[in-house]
Amino acid sequence: MRPFAYSRAPDVQAAIAHAGAGAEFIAGGTDMLQLLQEDLRSPATLIDINGLSLTGIGTDGDALQIGALTRLSEVAAHPDIRNRFPVVSEALEATASAQVRNMATVGGNLLQRTRCLYFRDATMPCNKRQPGSGCPAQDGCNELNAILGGSADCIAVHPSDLAVALVALDARLVIAGPAGERRIAIADLHRLPGDAPHIETVLDPGELITAVRLPMAMADRKSAYVKVRHRASFEWAIASCAVTLSLSGQTVQDSRIVAGGVATRPWRLPQVEAALAGQRLDAPTIRAAAETAAEGAAPRPGNAWKVPLQQRTVARAISTAAGVP
Amino acid sequence: MRSAIGQPISRVDGPAKVRGQARYAGEFQPHGLVHAVLVTSTIVQGRIIAIDDSEALRVPGVMAVISHLNAPRLPWHIPEQRPVVDPKAGEPLHLFQGPEVHFNGQPVALVIAGTLEGATEAAARVQVSYAPANGVTMFDEASARPPHPDTASAGRPGTTSRGDADAALAQAAVRIDATYRQPREHHNAIEPHVTIAAWDGDHLTLYDKTQWVDNDRQEVAHALGISESQIRVISPFVGGAFGSALRTWPHVIAAAIAAREVRRPVRLELTRRQLYSGIGFRPRTEQRIALGADRDGRLQAVVHEATAQTARYEEYAETTVNTTTKAYACRNVRTAYRLADMNINSPCPMRAPGTVTGIFALETAMDELAVALNMDPLELRLRNFADHDQHQQHPWSSNELQACYRAAAEKFGWHRRPQQPGTLRHDGKQVGYGMAMTMYPANREAASASVSVFANGTALIRSAASDMGPGTYTSMTQVAAECLGLPVDKIGFELGDTDLPVAPVHGGSITMASVGNAVMAACRSVESRLIDLARAPGSGPFAGVKLADLVCRDGAVMRASGAVGEAVPYGELLRRCGLSKLDSESHAEPGEEEEQFSSSAFGAVFAEVHVDAGLGTIRVPRLVGAYDIGRVVNPKIARSQCIGGMVGGIGMALLEAAEWDARFGRVMNSNLAEYLVPVCADVGELDVTFVASDDRNFNPLGVKGVAEIAICGVAPAIGNAIYNATGRRLRDLPFTPARLLAG
Ligand SMILES: Cc1cc2nc3c(=O)[nH]c(=O)nc-3n(C[C@H](O)[C@H](O)[C@H](O)COP(=O)(O)OP(=O)(O)OC[C@H]3O[C@@H](n4cnc5c(N)ncnc54)[C@H](O)[C@@H]3O)c2cc1C
């Protein structure tokens, strides 16, 4: 850990004004402190954004809006989330531990850094940390690394559970920055690593996530979040899947199916959605659709086992959402 | 008066721990304390060619950067009689004595600063350049070798044999032969290793996380070339150790050096990542077991070969195959133990070292044999019960293993076990039942204790023992309360200080049998002094009464007949004699019984598992264990030991593994987010029974020790249950979704 300056931003404008050039935000700090302590980040200044009034959950026009600084525990427990967007509560209740959820914020969760073992060990080369230094995960301890969306420079998994659920709800982000406010789809937030894995999102330096918006049009869908992990609790996903379905009887009108824990960013599965469209949901249909879930996967020998796991996780999530045994 | 031994009292140190009043090594605050942080190597083998500390020295508050370039040359004698906790061949790391690097993560420099933050930052700014050389980072069974003769003669022989196991195996009607793997595992105690070193002239005080203060003193004295009388080691509480604090690690000596250099007390704490290379770990071990039996399941041949990794600079070895020589009745048994030298830090004991590893393989193999015989696995074990130790050819000092089998099977409901794998389902999960035998050698070492009885009616017992969590404070208090006939709350117990009477290592489950008997002996000796006092001509209340007519009972001196004359409580006796206290010290050690008997704790563990066949996840809703641990001094804390061991066993079975990158010679998941240990949600119902047992053949207290046995047998019971649930035999730990799904 290196010394840094600490400042508390009184409002969004001040936070943005001070950000960029060696300054980074700290919200709940549950990831940032790890990054600092392990010497993975050494910002000159930490801008504490906890004083900003970006908390709370409420209806705003055609969406349910969640302030970016709302704690995960509060989001998970909120009646409107539980009743109308239960996939979010399920993803959050499977996130970290109760103690971490009491500190961690929605914005921080989406921007937490990967758990790739090489990224997390400052003595190791890592293209994310030190562009051009290499990616030892390609031929190293990669049992849990990405099978989808990777490149020769990076196969790090995006670890957020919440982001996976939010993509399945077509959520939008409200972003404040030096150039004003903009809105993007959550699905567009994270970039593929390509040859620049150190650039993880489309956020410009100094931009702040201020809110997440869940479209009311996506409320009340049948849904499920299935998370596979070694431990029964307190572990990032080794595979997960969020499903939201719009059904007419048992026939699929629309679906959003998103995989987590297996890809370099939340991984939407349009081919599975297409295979389900207009179909009556029964076990064989689900199985057949889920078989396509790992299309395009490029596993390493160490993580090839995740290919069948992903297919099964997707099948399980669809069946659970649809109530098909 | 009610007997104190056998009462389920709560730990006597509990209130202090809950209130934050229990002081752990790292919490002492000697005046002027400064902080030290280690810089560790990033190559596996080679030499340091330069250390640039100029940037580090510019960090405000930095006092010194110590490395082989400027550290004092130390004598670093090896004690003539090596401490039991040290390897018998090779030499421990001599920190900062030369440029050689033996493994990735080796301490190469130490930064001392006024604050921890300053030392941490400066440590990151020390630039070390290396001339790397090729090291051995691949575990290669083929290149393994037998242990050094000194290792072999310390109970880790390269081979043992009775009968002709290989010939008998070839002729056996039913055979199994398989390989079992266990990865490198780490203790991960919550309390990190930390040492505070403070010099006063040429006298050194160490506050250290240690399971053996006397060893710390001895090893530091030898390394620094000073006399043991110049050193005091203080360690009143240990926040979990599991064997990691048995030895005196190099950083302890580094702290002492640093404090001498900067003339200030120095606090050196290892970071969580440094705990993966700065102390030891359970070595990766591969084992082959071959069993041959007749059609009735009687063992005809047992072959057990194990290969473990060890460091190139020092030869740590385990008793991995030893259990197999005595676990079952069999005429033909052959074992082999080999070591694969690698550029790694030295492994060290971790709860039930060797034994838990060997039992994992043996008890999985027994299950495989039961399948091959189409026999109930419990029945197979009963048929091969060893009614004496066939290796040493001694009777057991006690053995209630069959009672353990019965008690645990009954409580578990073993009769409901599905005969056919993969046939029982619950809630969409495959359900399986499995079991394993467990045993752990009962040992005892010489120990001393002192007793002071005070005029206010209280007593204080002292011994340089340790309490890393199992409840030494509590159990020794109970022994003293029972012996002195005083209530538990009138007894104090002090440990963890080299100024106290000598105690053996707090490891190998020997503390109860060793220190417990010393406490008992010390109580007996103070009682005889109390009787002398009571009979003293003139001053004594029983002046003139014959020695044989007086006894100590219920905290008082009284006539043996009980009838005539009053009983004089100890406090009153002292007051009447004008004394404020009366002291006595005594010693207890094993005797001839060691040559006459084999002593062991025994147990049986039963597991239920639920497997999600689709996703490969495995959960353990239920473990049932029954144990023969001799006399149970405190059933509550003994149960705590057992459930702790069971949880450790769940971790070993399902979660724990160091992720090793051979290219860098480094553990990649060296933190508690990625090195998985069980969380509460992984722990279901844990049911512990102690069968009636009292081993006076082994020692006067009748105890055998409980700690290590409880982790043994859990992993194979779970693995055997997975087989019963799925029909899949997993032989490599941990049993993960990756392994279950991989074909
Ligand atoms: C032991 C442990 C287990 C965990 N398990 C899981 C798990 O199972 N699933 C899971 O999804 N997560 C898990 N997490 C991660 C946890 O959810 C995140 O650390 C947390 O959500 C981050 O939120 P925070 O508010 O603490 O962010 P911080 O640590 O404060 O910040 C994280 C990053 O986000 C940036 N940031 C924060 N807020 C904003 C904002 N509003 N706008 C722009 N940038 C911002 C910061 O600059 C920083 O780069 C786990 C964490 C721990 C410690």
CA distance B26 to B195: 7
- The pLDDT tens digits for A120-129 are 999 999 999 9
Residue B563: predicted pLDDT: 62
Contact A76, A44 (CB under 8 A): no
Q: Residue range A149-177: average pLDDT?
A: 98
Report how far apart, in Å, the C-alpha atoms of A32 and of each of A12, A27, A43, B10 are: 20, 8, 10, 40
CA distance B687 to A213: 49
- The pLDDT tens digits for B440-451 are 999 999 999 999
Interface ipTM > 0.85: yes
Element (H, E) at A51: none
Q: Residue range B474-487: average pLDDT?
A: 97
What is the band of B538 on the pLDDT scale with cuts at 50, 70, 90? confident
Give a three-class secondary structure readout of B202-271: CEEEEEECCCCHHHHHHHHHHHHCCCHHHEEEECCCCCCCCCCCCCCCHHHHHHHHHHHHHCCCEEEECC
CA distance B589 to A261: 57
What is the band of B3 on the pLDDT scale with cuts at 50, 70, 90? confident
Residue B565: predicted pLDDT: 66
What is the band of B468 on the pLDDT scale with cuts at 50, 70, 90? very high
Q: Residue range A124-147: average pLDDT?
A: 98
Q: Which chain A residues have a beta carbon less than 8 Å from that of B55?
A: none
What residues contact residue B710 under an 8 Å CB cut-off, 6+ apart? Answer: B603, B625, B627, B641, B642, B643, B644, B645, B646, B648, B649
B664, B680, B739: best to mutate for the A interface, most A CBs within 10 A: B664
Which residue puts its alpha carbon closest to atom 36 of ligand 1?
Answer: A108
pTM score > 0.80 for this model?
yes
Element (H, E) at A40: none
Residue A217: predicted pLDDT: 98
Say whether B737 and A140 touch across the interface (CB within 8 A): no
Q: Which letter does DSSP use for residue B410 in this model?
A: H
- Does the pLDDT value for residue A35 go beyond 90? yes
Token pair of B254 as six digits: 């580094």
Contact A66, A214 (CB under 8 A): yes
CA distance B205 to B228: 11
Residue B397: predicted pLDDT: 98
Q: Residue range B288-299: average pLDDT?
A: 98
Put simply, whether A215 touches B (Cβ < 8 Å) is no
B496: left (phi over 0), alpha (psi -120 to 50) or beta: left
What is the band of B573 on the pLDDT scale with cuts at 50, 70, 90? very high
Residue B2: predicted pLDDT: 61
- The pLDDT tens digits for B607-620 are 999 999 999 999 99
Lowest mean pLDDT of B57-71, B225-239, B402-416, B556-570, name the range.
Answer: B556-570
Contact B660, B181 (CB under 8 A): no
Q: Residue range B18-28: average pLDDT?
A: 97
Ligand 1 pocket: which residues have CB below 6 Å? A 24-32, 68, 95-96, 100, 103-105, 107-109, 111-112, 159-162, 208-209, 236; B 673
- Does the pLDDT value for residue B404 go beyond 90? yes
Name the more confident of B562 and A249.
A249
Name the more confident of B544 and B191.
B191
Residue B301: predicted pLDDT: 98
Q: Residue range B709-731: average pLDDT?
A: 98
Q: Which letter does DSSP use for residue B23 in this model?
A: P
Query: CA-nearest residue of chain A to B60?
Result: A3
Q: Where are the beta strands (DSSP E) in B8-156?
A: 34-40, 46-52, 62-67, 100-101, 107-113, 127-132
The 3-state DSSP class for residue A141 equals coil
Token pair of B162 as six digits: 């009775």
Q: Residue range A158-184: average pLDDT?
A: 97
- Does the pLDDT value for residue B648 go beyond 70? yes
- What structural domains does chain A harbor? 220-322 (3.30.390.50)
Q: Which letter does DSSP use for residue A229 in this model?
A: -
The residue from B286, B305, B363, B708 that is catalytic is: B708
Omega within 30 of 0 (cis) for the link into B83: no
- Does the pLDDT value for residue B360 go beyond 90? yes
Q: Give the strands of the sheet with B46-52, arranged side by side.
A: B100-101, B46-52, B127-132
Residue B7: predicted pLDDT: 97
Contact A64, A72 (CB under 8 A): no
Tell me, yes or no, if B315 is annotated catalytic.
no
HSE-CB for B343 with a 13 A CA cutoff: 26
CA distance B285 to B354: 9
B674, B677, B736: best to mutate for the A interface, most A CBs within 10 A: B674
CA distance A304 to B390: 48
- Quick one: CA dihedral A96, B659, B361, B89, positive or negative? negative
- Count the neighbouring beta carbons within 10 Å of the beta carbon of residue A175: 22
What is the band of A21 on the pLDDT scale with cuts at 50, 70, 90? confident
Residue B743: predicted pLDDT: 67
Hey, which of A30, A48, A73 would you mutate to test ligand 1's pocket, going by the most ligand atoms within 8 Å of its Cβ?
Answer: A30
CA distance B284 to B345: 12
Q: Which chain A residues have a beta carbon less than 8 Å from that of B670?
A: 121
Give the N- to C-terminal CA distance of chain A in Å, as an integer.
51
- The pLDDT tens digits for B32-55 are 999 999 999 999 999 999 999 999
CA distance B190 to B240: 6
In angstroms, what separates the C-alpha of A1 from chain B's closest C-alpha? Answer: 6
Q: Where are the beta strands (DSSP E) in B42-94?
A: 46-52, 62-67
Put simply, whether B555 touches A (Cβ < 8 Å) is no
Residue A63: predicted pLDDT: 98
- Does the pLDDT value for residue B259 go beyond 80? yes
Q: Residue range B569-579: average pLDDT?
A: 96
Q: Residue range B713-740: average pLDDT?
A: 98
The whole-chain average pLDDT of chain B stands at: 97
